[in-house]
Amino acid sequence: MTDPRSTDRIDKWLWQARFFKTRSLATKQVASGAVRVNATRVTKAASPVGPGDVLTFAQGRQIRVIRIVALATRRGPAPEAQALYDDLTPAPDPAAAEQPRTGPRPTKKDRRSLDAMRDDGESGF
């Protein structure tokens, strides 16, 4: 029989490693199918994970790739949480970086006029 401490729930581990602010947010992310464990999509928050597993998930606009190094006993401070994983996320490509905004943010009136122009072009009449 295996040691019961060798695995943990995926939602609990993501919360303890401070990738999500609350455990319910981690649960929602897993339940939506947005988390992969060893390249396999996981939809149950109670799915077991352990040291050596590789997790892939979206965090903000970034795709994170994490290898679990250890399991936590509590949700501790950030340095303690960072010791739980190795970050395998590839460095962002500077050529693919977003272009900075060239002008001010459009006003509501500007957006309406843009939408009106788009609607006129799509009607085909």
The pLDDT tens digits of the residues spanning 95-121 come to 666 677 788 888 999 999 989 988 876
Kindly state whether residue 108 falls inside one of the protein's structural domains. no
- Measured in degrees and rounded to the nearest 5, phi and psi for residue 46 equal -90, 5
Integer Cα distance of 80 and 78 in angstroms: 5
Kindly state whether residue 40 falls inside one of the protein's structural domains. yes
Kindly state whether residue 26 falls inside one of the protein's structural domains. yes
Kindly state whether residue 81 falls inside one of the protein's structural domains. yes
pLDDT tens-digit profile of 2-40? 455 589 999 999 999 999 999 999 999 999 999 999 999
Q: Is residue 65 left, alpha or beta, with left meaning phi > 0 and alpha meaning psi from -120 to 50?
A: beta
- Concatenated DSSP letters for 25-67? HHHHHHHTT-EEETTEEE--TT-EE-TT-EEEEEETTEEEEEE
Domain range for 81 is: 4-93
pTM score of the predicted model: 0.71
Kindly state whether residue 114 falls inside one of the protein's structural domains. no
Domain count, the chain: 1
Q: CATH number of the domain that 40 lies in?
A: 3.10.290.10
Kindly state whether residue 50 falls inside one of the protein's structural domains. yes
Kindly state whether residue 21 falls inside one of the protein's structural domains. yes
pLDDT tens-digit profile of 48-94? 999 999 999 998 888 999 999 999 999 999 999 999 999 998 887 77
Kindly state whether residue 80 falls inside one of the protein's structural domains. yes
